[in-house]
Structure formats: C-alpha cells, structure tokens
Structure 1
Amino acid sequence: MVSSTLTRAIEGLEGGESLSADQCRDAIRAILDGGLQDLEVERFLAALHRKGETAEELHGAVLAVRERMIPFDPGSAGGPCLDTCGTGGDGAHTVNISTATAAVVASCGVRVVKHGNRAASGSSGSSDVLGRLGVAIDPDTPALHRCLEEIGLVFLFAPRFHPGLRGVAEIRRRLPHRTIFNLVGPLCNPASPTHQLMGVPSEEHAATMAGALARAGHIRRAVVVHGSDGLDEVTLDGPTRVLVVEAGAVRGVSWSPEDFGLPRTPAAALRVEGPDESADRLRRLFAGEGGPVRAVVLANAAAALWAVEGGSLVDLVARAAAAIDSGSVARRVGRWAELTGGER
C-alpha cells in the first residue's frame, strides 16, 4: 500500500520543494501508522535528508511523533525541569558529557528529566553509560517517579515511550545517513520539559532545532549549542555558538572558555573507546578528579543552569564544582542505581 499523502510529499521533496508543517505531520503520521511499502518510506526520508529539513518540517514531524508517545508527568505543579538531550552525530566519540551534566545539575537543585537512547553515532549513548554506572535504564513507572521525587533526576528510555517508532527502526538502520527521526528525538521528551540544553553537530542543525523549539509550546527557555571545533556540546577548545530560544523567538550569542573561567581543553582529550571507558572517567570525575572531563562537564553544567536560571557563567561553574567536590553528585548517582534496581 502506498499513501497518496506520502506520494505527494515525495514528489514535492524530490522537486526541491519544502513541506508545510501540516504536510510533514501528515506524511509522518502515515509512516508511523504502518502498512506502507518500505521503498516509499525510504524515498521520503532520503528526499527530505537531501533537501535538508526545515524548522517547519521538523515541527510537523514532532507533532506526529508526540501524538503517539506515552507521556510522563514530571509533577511539581509546573515547576521547571530540564532535559540535556542533544542530537549527537559529531563523530568525536567523547565521554558522555550530557549524562554527566544531568547528574551535576540535579545535584545543584534543578530537576532533570533526561531523555535518551542507545548510541546512534558515537561510542556510547546515554543508556549505555548509565548501565555501566549501575543505573537500570528501563525500570517501571513508579520507580521513575521515585527517582524524580527523591533525587530530582530521571532517565526516560526513548524506545519505551515511543513505541510508534519501532516500525521504522529497520528502515532507519538500512539508510546510510541520518533521517529526520534523529532530529525529532531530542524534541520529543515525554515529560515536555520547560527548559533544555541541546547540543548539535553543525550550525545548520542548530538553526533548524532552535526554530522547532521556538514552535514548542512547553519550552520556556532552551539553549542550543554547537562548538566551533565541531563538538555537539559546549566546547572549551574555542568559541561555542549559542542560540537562545525564549518566548517563541531565537537570538544568537557566543561563549568562550574565558566566559566560564575555565582552561582551553581540546576535544581529543575527551575521547573514549566505549561505554566502559566513559563510565570509568565519569566515576573519577564524580570522585573529584580534575582534568579535561571535569572542565568540559563544568562548562556544560553551567550552560544548563544558565538555561534555567540565567546569571554569571563563572558563578554557575563554581556552583557545579561545589556539587561535585562535596560528594553530592557521586551520592546521587549511587542512589539513582538503588532506586532503579540496577547493578553496581
């Protein structure tokens, strides 16, 4: 079976035309509803990738995916909560910076609802390293709520909350390039967080993701970052290009290592071979070890805190450092493992 909606969308895309948000939403709906020929789905995803996704198209895709997701209620009467999920795809194979950032920020008193998956393009995805740290990635829902209530930190494993995406998993694996679904993931946190720090691998992606975030009704402020060295995090090896999303508008700023009061740190010093090495380096960080991992995690934690609260980046670095050095982060990660029933 071939959907006429999908056929029209493919014809437009292959002709170089962009889709409206409604057109893209309807095409993604047709794909997620199943029953289509794999070849047509592949043609659609490839044509969209070749043309380059617009913020409008991405917003439409997000609407279709969010319609089918299983929501997670973060509670606390609408108080702020943060996600640190990014797109990945920088190919730098670094230690899990966003996962460490989530633990540090939660230890600074900001609730974090981390959305994530297994590694897509790097050496170690969020769920991979959390498993090595003893945190069970897919406990039952009551355990997830206990995590958020007791330690202000929870991980939502994407496949559990987005069962509608299972039908396109094999098609995505067959394609030799990323698809719009790689961009949709960080925009579809089941908890609908009020704030987000999102790392992206290119300026083009930054603009598209920021445009989609500006259209998301649940976002109060989001910060999209791209390192000038190609890192999809706040970098300390040069300037970080930043897009701030607030009140439906997007503005650009730039952060340098000096803005954080931190030393220059090359991305090569953050490289790991896989989740075991990443987890080892994070344990050493949480135990108070200095060096490049600490510096970059402090910068990203300060950026995440800034997304929620604003203020001086230097002061926010000091606050994050105090959380690590007091042992709060290590204790929180240990308790996280206990609450989820993981193995330490």
Structure 2
Amino acid sequence: MKELLYRLFEHQYLDREEARMVLTNMAEGRYNDAQIAAFVTVYLMRSITVDELIGFREALLQMRVPVSLSEYNPIDIVGTGGDNHNTFNISTLSCFVVAGAGYKVAKHGNYGATSVSGASNVMEQHGVKFTRDNDLLRRSIEETNMAYLHAPFFNLALKTVAPVRKALQVRSFFNVLGPLVNPIQPKRNMLGVFNLKMARLYYYMYQQENVDFSIVHSLDGYDEISLTSDFKVIDKNGEKMYTPELLHFERVSQAALDGGKTPEDAARIFDNVLQNKATLAQKNVVVINAAFAIRTINPELSLEECIDQAKNSIESGAALNTLKKFIALNS
C-alpha cells in the first residue's frame, strides 16, 4: 500500500488490475484504518478514472454474496450521497412509492456516511431486520413489491471500510461505487449524482451494459431531483434539462428538505410523507423522483402519467400499505 500511496500522491493513476487488487486486499483486511483513510482521501483531491472505477467495481462484484431476483426485473433507486445537503430519505421513500404503484423494487442501501440517515438507518428505525436470505428477499419482493439489500451484508469490503467512512464524514469513491455494486445487478436503475462529471462517468458505464437508466442531477448540487433548482436527466435517449415550473411544481427551499439532526427525525419525516401528512415540498420532491423512476420502467408513459401514478400511490395509501407489509415481513 505504501508504494501505491506514494504514486497516488504524485498524481499518478491506477490501472484496472491495480484498482481491483487494492479493493480485494482491503476486503481481506490487509490494510489498517490509517492506510484506508489516506487512500480514500486521494479521491477527494482528484476524480476517479474510468479504469479505476471499473477495477474497484470488479473487485466488489467478484466478492459479493450471490443473490438473484432477476426474474422480477426490479428497479433500484439510489443517490450517490456526498452532496452535503443532509436531505431526508428521498430515494428510499421513492422506492416505497414506486412499489406502492405496483412496480418491483430492489433497493441497495447502507448507513449514512455523510448524512444523518442513510437508507439502512431509516429501515432500522422501523424495526427492519436485514437479511441475505435469498428466499426471504424473494418473498418480500413477491408479496410487497420491495426488497431491501443492506450493502455490508453482501460485500465484505463495504463492511471493512464502514468505520473509516463514518469517521471521515466526507464523500469518497465508495459513494460512486455504491450504485454500481447492487448484488443483483438490476437492469433498471434510477441514479442521483452530486455533480455532472459523475453523471458522465455513470453514463459511460451504463452504456456498456444494456440497462434502462435515468441519471438525475439538480444543478445546485443535489444527488436527486430536489425542486430547489433546474435539473438534468440523462437516459438512453440523451439528456434533457427541466425546471420545476415546467412540470407544474413550485420551487422549494433547501431548508424544506432537511433530514433533521437524528435518524429519529428522519424517520418521522419518512412516515409523514407516506401518511400524506408531510409538507407539500417534502411530498412533491418524493413524487417527482418516483415519477422519473416509473418513467425509467415505462418510457412509453408521459411524465404527467408517471406523476399521477406517484401521487396516487401516496394519496391512496398504497405506498403506506406497502411499507406496513414490508415491515411485517422483514422484522
């Protein structure tokens, strides 16, 4: 590791095989926390290359716990995190809204590293017990349209680096890797990114893989459609800029999306949204993200139809019922 760190500090790059080797060694516990922290910090000072990203990803996928839900062709809705906005759990809420609308979802998530509450935090707040049992995951997606895959259960490297990521409290290349290493490798993805450079990198990756995808980025730096600014959506057909007003939504303030100071705060907002008791800003942000996820699944639908399906999932109680059934089965 020492030689690699010297090279990286001198602004050199890893090739694909070197990147794969580093992540494999990390998972096997061959580096101490200080070395891991130094390695992670390099990627705060420069961007990750395509070869490095591919190598890191190959290592994680080779070591993953196998699980298969491919016959359900589910979608994963995820943000990279690391946008330093501490929003409430918009992506996870969107998953339940999409599931409530009748679509299959396989959410890959983790504890928050740069925010108060990641997907796994809010799941635990609701009493959910994480599992790698393939039969239970299949039953969950079959009966509730929703399966949750807690990332450290499926990849040792993510578990190994978790304490370092939490201690650093800054984004790292693991934020970039997370959406690419869902162990089921879904063929449908909606991904939120914190900058346009990341969007281009993911676009390159997805183009190689014959998947249906939407990459979203709000221009004021959110890794989701925040409705606080104009936003860009990139999919197979290219990229398009939207304004909230174009889609008949009011712009919202950044303060309106705050996730609170504790996981308990975030869980209360989570419940309020699904109970249709949230503020209009909170509800609308979830609706628009869920709508673009539905559009990723059904590109033949108009955005208006997708927005209506997402709204109805909340207002009819379908999304809340999905959460209740999911908790009952997974706790």
Unaligned runs of 5+ in 2: none
The 3-state SS of whatever aligns with 1:84 is strand
Does the 8 Å contact 2:249/2:284 carry over to 1? yes
Q: 27, 40, 45: which is aligned to 1:50? A: 45
> What amino acid maps onto 1:286 in structure 2?
L
Q: 306, 309, 314: which is aligned to 2:304? A: 314
* Change beyond 3 A, Cα 1:111–1:333: same
Q: 72, 75, 78: which is aligned to 1:85? A: 78
Unaligned runs of 5+ in 1: none
Q: What pairs with 1:1-344 in structure 2 (closer than 5 Å)? A: 7=3, 9-36=4-31, 40-76=35-71, 79-138=72-131, 140-173=133-166, 175=168, 177-215=170-208, 217=209, 220-244=211-235, 246=236, 251-273=238-260, 274-289=262-277, 291-310=280-299, 311-341=301-331
Paired residues in the alignment total: 328
* Change beyond 3 A, Cα 1:132–1:37: closer
The 3-state SS of whatever aligns with 1:253 is strand
Query: After TM superposition, what 4+ stretches of structure 1 lie above 6 angstroms from structure 2?
Result: none
Does the 8 Å contact 1:225/1:241 carry over to 2? yes
The 3-state SS of whatever aligns with 1:18 is coil
**Over aligned residues, Cα RMSD in angstroms?**
2.4
Query: 1:127: Cα distance to partner?
Result: 1.4
* Change beyond 3 A, Cα 1:260–1:121: same
Query: 1:73: Cα distance to partner?
Result: 0.7
Between the aligned partners of 1:22 and 1:120, the Cα distance in structure 2 is 27
Query: 1:220: Cα distance to partner?
Result: 1.1
With normalisation by structure 2, the TM-score equals 0.89
- Percent sequence identity is 29
> What amino acid maps onto 2:269 in structure 1?
R
Give the stretch that moved more between structures: 163-172 or 88-97.
Answer: 163-172
Between the aligned partners of 1:265 and 1:167, the Cα distance in structure 2 is 38
* Change beyond 3 A, Cα 1:331–1:168: closer
* Change beyond 3 A, Cα 1:282–1:67: same
With normalisation by structure 1, the TM-score equals 0.86
Query: 1:171: Cα distance to partner?
Result: 4.3
Between the aligned partners of 2:311 and 2:275, the Cα distance in structure 1 is 12
Between the aligned partners of 2:216 and 2:294, the Cα distance in structure 1 is 14
* Change beyond 3 A, Cα 1:121–1:36: closer
